[in-house]
Amino acid sequence: MEPFEIIFPENKKIDIKFKNFLIQTDQSKQNGGDETAPEPFALFLASLGSCAGIYAKVFCDSRKIDTSDMKLILEVFFKEKQKLLHRIEITLHVGQDFPEKYIKPVIKAMAGCAVKNQLHPDIETETRVVYA
């Protein structure tokens, strides 16, 4: 995988260069930012939702199930009095014509989300500082 280049344009903005993309983040005004882009944690959660979403989309496309009226809602719940995730709920809203026989299989497909499968306490993290 290509590296991510993190740059610091101004104030609380942090931009990420990845391949030919520029992903912008900012902080809320409450946290000293300008609110010009999502906060990094929101992008993390969005990546989880979009990952589950693409698994649902591919599942449906392979079965020629119309996805034009579908939507996915991701809700997060934190541990009481902490800023740690306690539970994530992913709900795929489908139309009345969605075949009932595919309810469990599409749930299983969404469970294959690579981002969700990284949420595990045994993941090691290394943080370091190097001079350019």
| 116 vs 91, residue with greater confidence | 91
Which structural domain range is residue 69 located in? 39-132
With CA atoms as reference, report the closest residue to 74 among 106, 110, 123.
Answer: 110
Average pLDDT over residues 96-101: 91
Average pLDDT value over all residues in the chain: 87
Verify that 91 and 69 share a domain, yes or no. Answer: yes
Residues 72 and 110 in one domain: yes
Same domain, 46 and 89: yes
> Looking at residue 124, what is its pLDDT?
44
**Within 13 Å and on the Cβ side, how many CA atoms surround 81?**
0
Domain count, the chain: 2
Token digits of residue 32: 């000293």
Residues 56 and 33 in one domain: no
Residue (of 74, 77, 111, 80) closest to 93 by Cα position: 74
The answer on 49 and 29 residing in a single domain is no
Segment 53-95, tens digit of pLDDT: 999 999 999 999 999 989 999 988 887 877 777 778 889 999 9
- Over 60: is that where the pLDDT of 11 sits? yes
Query: Could you tell me the pTM of the whole model?
Result: 0.83
Q: What is the mean pLDDT of residues 86-109?
A: 89
Instruction: Output the domain CATH number for residue 113.
Output: 3.30.300.20
What would the DSSP string read from start to end of 65-86? ---TT-EEEEEEEE-TTSSSEE
Using the predicted structure, report yes or no on whether residue 33 has a pLDDT greater than 80.
yes
Q: Which two tokens stand for residue 93?
A: 């809203």
Q: Is 48 found in the same domain as 30?
A: no
Q: Could you give the CA distance from residue 56 to residue 74 in angstroms, rounded to a whole number?
A: 13
